[in-house]
């Protein structure tokens, strides 16, 4: 069992424990105690560690970022401020300020979920962004679980702009997700070289294996997403799928997904005009050698098709379910997209390519915001299938 899969299983357990803490308060204190222990461990490691050399300065800075972020997130006022910041960023990136200015959000339905008495909310896609009227704030309530009691007045611009709040400060599952996000992001960024634009040895198996695609990209990331939304603890399987945006797409959404496949090819082509034109870096040659080594199927259409199919389905479904389905509704479009870019560790020595992935992922996040995760899976899986088949069949 790989270290990556072990880390995923650990995060799955933490996710289920976090949702279980909503019914068993002692689990909440177990998690809080874990965060405190990790914070002091990171702090001690920084204090007793030797002065980092020039080559280790970036890694040291990331470790400091993780330690400081872990300590700050334990304080609720910090999480409240972060919630407003993430909400403003998310509404800006998604273009909701235009919708708010046009007055398209007409009313505030009042919903009544089980844990609280009265909640003011705005239905959006598969969730209802909730703000408790006379009890502490709760998590966004799945639309399927919400009971609409009444409709009130038309929203003002500011109310409309901040209505769909992301990251609920009082939510232990959201706090747990923030800790995992910060820790993973710090670990991934520590392995990058921000000053280097070369692409030396790529730290993934050559060629990519089908079992790696299935256990990590496919089953591993889907399992992490499901546990992150509390399947069988806070939500039954159907509710978990709805929360992740894994719903039946309309014909229009299928068309959007297919169109975005061609858009993705165009996006990569435009980027290549810049990256491949960088003198002395030989991006084109290095990417060609990378693709030849990674997508090696032994020649022929049949093995190339099998490898491409596994790559498309496992990476497309796994990454979209985690990034777009689980993380985006909690942290917003751009933070989820940036983590998606950092997850592509094969580009750790070429940060520009990580930014390329993050930029494309941001666009996909906007598509997900106005459709669902199933639509973005069509695009991601379709593009991965076609590009992988081309690499494997004719590298």
Same domain, yes or no, for 384 and 238?
yes
118 in a structural domain: no
217 falls within a domain: yes
Q: Are residues 276 and 174 in the same domain?
A: no
pLDDT at position 51 is 64
168/276: higher pLDDT? 168
Question: Do residue 185 and residue 231 come from a single domain?
Answer: no
Tell me whether residue 3 is exposed, middle or buried, using C-beta atoms within 10 angstroms of its C-beta: 0 to 12, 13 to 18, 19 or more.
exposed
SS3 129: strand
Burial of 200 (0-12, 13-18, 19+ CB in 10 A): exposed
Q: Is the pTM of this model over 0.85?
A: no
Does residue 324 sit within a domain? Answer: yes
Q: CA 205 to CA 211: how far, in whole Å?
A: 12
CA-wise closest residue to 182 among 38, 372, 384, 352? 38
DSSP 347: G
Please say if the pLDDT value at position 107 is more than 70: no
Q: Which of 64-73, 137-146, 298-307, 362-371 has the weakest average pLDDT?
A: 137-146
The arithmetic mean of pLDDT across residues 266-283, rounded, is 82
Residue 183 and residue 215 in one domain? no
Please write down the long-range contacts of 120-123, taking CB distance under 8 Å and 24 or more positions apart.
120/152, 121/146, 122/155, 122/163, 122/164
Verify that 175 and 30 share a domain, yes or no. Answer: yes
Q: How many separate domains does the chain show?
A: 2
Residue 316: predicted pLDDT: 95
- 268 inside domain: yes
**Residue 367 and residue 273 share a domain:** yes
* Any domain includes 144: no
Q: Based on the domain organization, do 92 and 239 belong to the same domain?
A: no
Mean pLDDT, all residues of the chain: 81
Whether 183 and 279 share a structural domain: no
CA dist list (Å): 119 to 4, 87, 91, 133, 230: 40, 19, 21, 6, 21
- Regarding whether 380 and 242 lie in a shared domain, the answer is yes
Same-domain status, 184 and 202: no
Alpha-helix residue ranges (DSSP H) falling in the chain? 3-20, 25-48, 57-72, 76-93, 96-101, 157-162, 172-190, 210-212, 221-228, 237-243, 251-275, 283-294, 301-310, 316-320, 328-331, 333-342, 351-370, 373-393
106 lies in some domain = no
Q: Which residue range is the domain that position 347 belongs to?
A: 198-393
Among residues 281, 265, 216, the alpha carbon closest in space to that of 380 is found at 265
Are 302 and 366 part of one and the same domain? yes
Does residue 107 fall inside a structural domain? no
Helices 172-190 and 3-20: crossing angle in degrees, nearest 10, is 160
- Tens of pLDDT, residues 157-216: 666 666 678 999 999 999 999 999 999 999 888 888 766 555 544 445 566 777 778 888
Categorize the per-residue pLDDT at 297 as very low, low, confident or very high, splitting at 50, 70 and 90: low
Q: Of 366, 320, 329, 328, which is closest to residue 96 (Cα–Cα)?
A: 366
Q: Please check the confidence at residue 79 and state whether its pLDDT lies above 60.
A: yes
Same domain? For 289 and 182 the reply is no
How far apart (Å, rounded) are the C-alpha atoms in residues 347 and 244? Answer: 28
Whether residue 273 is predicted with pLDDT greater than 70 in this model: the reply is yes
Which of 128, 15, 65, 94 shows the shortest CA–CA distance to 335? 94
Please identify, among 190, 225, 252, the residue that sits at the C-terminal boundary of a domain.
190
Residue 275 in any domain: the answer is: yes
């Amino acid at each position: 069992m790989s270290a990556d899969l072990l880390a995923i299983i650990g995060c799955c357990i933490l996710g289920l424990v976090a949702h279980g803490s909503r019914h068993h308060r002692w689990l909440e204190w177990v998690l809080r105690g874990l965060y405190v222990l990790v914070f002091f461990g990171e702090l001690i490691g920084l204090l007793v560690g030797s002065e980092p050399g020039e080559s280790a300065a970036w890694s040291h800075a990331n470790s400091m970022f993780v330690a400081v972020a872990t300590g700050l997130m334990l304080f609720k006022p910090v999480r409240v401020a972060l919630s407003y910041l993430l909400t403003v960023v998310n509404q800006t990136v998604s273009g909701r300020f235009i919708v708010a200015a046009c007055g398209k959000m007409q009313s505030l339905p009042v919903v009544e979920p089980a844990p609280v008495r009265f909640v003011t909310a705005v239905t959006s896609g598969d969730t209802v962004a909730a703000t408790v009227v006379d009890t502490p704030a709760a998590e966004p309530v799945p639309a399927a679980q919400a009971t609409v009691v009444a409709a009130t007045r038309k929203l003002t611009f500011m109310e409309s702009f901040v209505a769909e709040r992301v990251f609920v400060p009082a939510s232990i599952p959201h706090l747990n997700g923030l800790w995992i996000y910060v820790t993973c992001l710090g670990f991934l960024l520590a392995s990058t070289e921000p000053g280097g634009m070369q692409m030396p040895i790529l730290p993934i198996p050559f060629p990519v294996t089908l079992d790696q695609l299935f256990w990590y990209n496919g089953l591993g990331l889907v399992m992490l997403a499901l546990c992150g939304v509390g399947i069988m603890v806070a939500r039954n399987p159907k509710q978990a799928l709805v929360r992740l945006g894994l719903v039946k797409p309309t014909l229009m959404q299928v068309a959007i997904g297919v169109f975005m496949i061609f858009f993705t090819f165009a996006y990569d082509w435009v980027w290549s005009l810049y990256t491949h034109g960088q003198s002395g870096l030989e991006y084109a040659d290095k990417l060609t050698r990378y693709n030849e080594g990674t997508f090696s199927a032994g020649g022929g259409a049949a093995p190339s098709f099998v490898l491409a199919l596994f790559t498309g389905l496992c990476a497309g479904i796994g990454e979209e379910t985690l990034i777009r389905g689980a993380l985006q509704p909690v942290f917003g479009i751009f933070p989820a997209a940036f983590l998606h870019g950092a997850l592509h560790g094969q580009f750790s020595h070429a940060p520009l390519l990580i930014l390329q992935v993050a930029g494309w992922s941001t666009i996909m996040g906007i598509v997900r915001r106005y459709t669902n995760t199933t639509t973005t899976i069509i695009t991601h899986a379709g593009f991965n299938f076609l590009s992988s088949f081309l690499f494997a069949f004719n590298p």
